[in-house]
Amino acid sequence: MRISVTGHMNINAATGDLVRKAIAELLAGTTGLVGISCIARGADSVFAEAVLDVGGQLEVVLPSANYREAKVKPDHLAQFDALLARATTVRIMDFDNAGREAYEAANEALVQGVDRMIAVWDGQDGQRAGTGTVVELARQRGIPVDIVWPQGAARG
């Protein structure tokens, strides 16, 4: 079972805990689990940790060769590096530099060959290539999407 994630980067710590618990409940009992994530701050990393917590394998999709250096903030580096080290597979999109095209390619990779997608999403999204865009892309491809936004969750 191949499950990818999309979601908000700007969730607070309390929301991260709520989301991790909700994702773990969704994933519980899934055999042969492979989670696909870009391991960005917030939803992507919370999902990756939940996948590993339930014994699944982690596949990482990086938008560009310089993604870590260009986009991962110092307060997220330790978590990012730890998840990257635990990944079974790391796929780097064919872009030297992070940017809109690289993110769109990574979003496309998240919907290729997956059985399901989890979206950590409050239903609000106005930006191109944001969570709502990826949810719509998955739905257009016939991929079932589980929306995770537990009671009490907040962006922050």
Q: Which domain CATH number covers 143?
A: 3.40.50.450
**pLDDT tens-digit profile of 9-39?**
999 999 999 999 999 999 999 999 999 999 9
Residue 154 lies in a domain: no
Report the distance separating Cα 118 and Cα 68, nearest Å: 23
Give this prediction's pTM.
0.95
Number of domains into which the chain is organized: 1
Judge whether residue 7 has pLDDT over 90.
yes
Burial of residue 2, with CB atoms counted within 10 A of its CB: 0-12 exposed, 13-18 middle, 19 or more buried: middle
DSSP letters, 100-125, are HHHHHHHHHHHHTT-SEEEEE--S--
141 sits in which H/E element:
none
Residue 99 lies in a domain: yes
Judge whether residue 43 has pLDDT over 70.
yes
**pLDDT tens-digit profile of 57-108?**
999 999 999 999 999 999 999 999 999 999 999 999 999 999 999 999 999 9
54 sits in which H/E element:
none
Residue 28 lies in a domain: yes
Report the distance separating Cα 85 and Cα 52, nearest Å: 12
Residue 132 lies in a domain: yes
Residue 153 lies in a domain: no
Report the distance separating Cα 9 and Cα 120, nearest Å: 9
Q: Which domain holds residue 110?
A: 2-148
51 sits in which H/E element:
helix 43-53
Residue 156 lies in a domain: no
Report the distance separating Cα 26 and Cα 73, nearest Å: 29
